[in-house]
Amino acid sequence: MEELWPLAGAAASGVVVAWLLTVFGGGGSVLATPLLMAAAGVTDPHVAIGTAAAAVAVNAAGGLAVQARAGRVKWPCALVFGGAGLIGALAGAEIAKSIDGHRLLLWFAVAMAAIALSMLLPKRDEGDPGVRLTPGLTLRLAPVGLATGLAAGFFGIGGGFLIAPGLMAATGMTLANAAASSLVSVTLFGAATSLSYAASGYIDGALFAALVAGGLLGTALGAPASRALAGRAGTARRIFALMILAVAAYVATKALGGP
């Protein structure tokens, strides 16, 4: 019976993360690692990061399929950004695996705080819905994608909170197109990071399956909540950001050897 508790904790974590992603549209995947450690009892930060990255990649692929059917993905721009970032993600994952787990956890807490603060910034949706890839755009997209992938691979996160603004800044596309197109990179970065960790034995297959299964339920539960909160999205997003800041403080305390 005791062996089932970690799986139940991972499944519950998947429900929470997917629900938050569905309701708030970003930032939720960063909670997967601390939730695995707290709810599923994972003690090795590398295993938590690698397993979470694999689940994020699967969930992002599902979201990408939905957005692609809706015609919101700007494929040429997304593939240039994601292709360059894939190299960065592989490099970032290799660097992270060589760092002491508790020190990596501290850096992870810093990344969580940065994500939360970015969520508190006002969002804009102005942009060109008809943006097309040009040589000039390619030269702007590739370096930004490389840097974003490096960060995503290092921290084992999807990186959506960096990808969408990066796509908008480099191409001038709308927020809706950027959010949809960012899922190409989230899928690629998560897959690259998780494969790197898997090669080093840092992924728990059973917890991964439980996390993904919970994510399916969380997505289904999040859809009606997202519609209900549509009129109060700004307030809800700020509350979520403050929650991430609180979790970041908890993770930092654990990394520093606190109770």
Residue 37 token pair: 């450690």
pLDDT band at 139 (very low <50, low <70, confident <90, very high): very high
- For residue range 45-58, list pLDDT tens digits in order: 999 999 999 998 88
* Across 189-208, average pLDDT: 93
Give me 154's structure tokens. 């290092």
> Which ranges in 28-44 belong to alpha helices (H)?
32-39
Indicate the pLDDT class of residue 161, thresholds 50, 70 and 90.
low
Residue 55 is which amino acid?
Answer: A
Which tokens in the block code for residue 225?
């909540």
Q: What percentage of the chain reaches a pLDDT higher than 70?
A: 88
* 124 — pLDDT class (breaks 50, 70, 90): low
Mean pLDDT of the chain: 84
Measured between alpha carbons, how far is 37 from 34 in angstroms, rounded to an integer? 5
Which H/E stretch holds residue 253?
A: helix 233-255
What's the confidence (pLDDT) of residue 172?
A: 86
Q: Are 74 and 131 in contact (CB under 8 A)?
A: yes
Q: What is the pLDDT of residue 231?
A: 63
Lowest mean pLDDT across 72-86, 95-109, 159-173, 191-205 = 159-173
End-to-end Cα spacing for the chain: 27
Hunting for tokens 């601390």 — which residue is that?
Answer: 34
| pLDDT band per the 50, 70, 90 thresholds, residue 153 | confident
Whether the pLDDT of residue 210 is over 80: the answer is yes
- In tens, the pLDDT along 60-86 reads 888 788 788 888 899 999 999 999 999
Nearest to 139 by CA among 84, 73, 74: 84
Average pLDDT over residues 103-108: 84
